[in-house]
Amino acid sequence: MFPGATAAIHVMCHVYNSIGQAPEPSTPGQDGLDLAVTFADAGRAIRSAIDVDLARLPSKCEVFYISADLPHGKYRTTKARDILGWEAQDTLEAYFTRPDAKL
């Protein structure tokens, strides 16, 4: 080990499925994916992980779901919000809304 170095390595894993641009208003009703997020929100999540106070982490190895708030509610991003202070700013609602859907 290098002089002055510590053995405290922290690993923060961000789980994504799809990273892309926010949908254009002209493309409603496109099929969406689980754990989808925009490039900008993914970048903000990485910045949050870099800036987090390591004392806030429950362990030295943490996994965070990074996703826009999606209507299926399959994956919760509350851990990223509570520990990293990250929340998606971009909505991907248009990918999950079908203009011809009847309720």
pLDDT value at residue 61: 94
Question: How many distinct structural domains can be found in the chain?
Answer: 1
Query: What percent of the chain lies above the pLDDT cut of 70?
Result: 72
Q: Decide if 4 is inside a domain.
A: no
pLDDT in tens, 41-68: 999 999 999 999 999 999 999 999 998 8
Q: Decide if 5 is inside a domain.
A: no
Q: Decide if 35 is inside a domain.
A: yes
Average pLDDT over residues 95-101: 65
Distance of alpha carbon 64 from the chain centroid: 7
Q: Decide if 1 is inside a domain.
A: no
Domain containing residue 19: 11-96
3 state SS of 65: strand
Q: Decide if 49 is inside a domain.
A: yes
What is the residue-averaged pLDDT of the chain? 80
The lowest-confidence range among 11-15, 19-23, 37-41 is 19-23
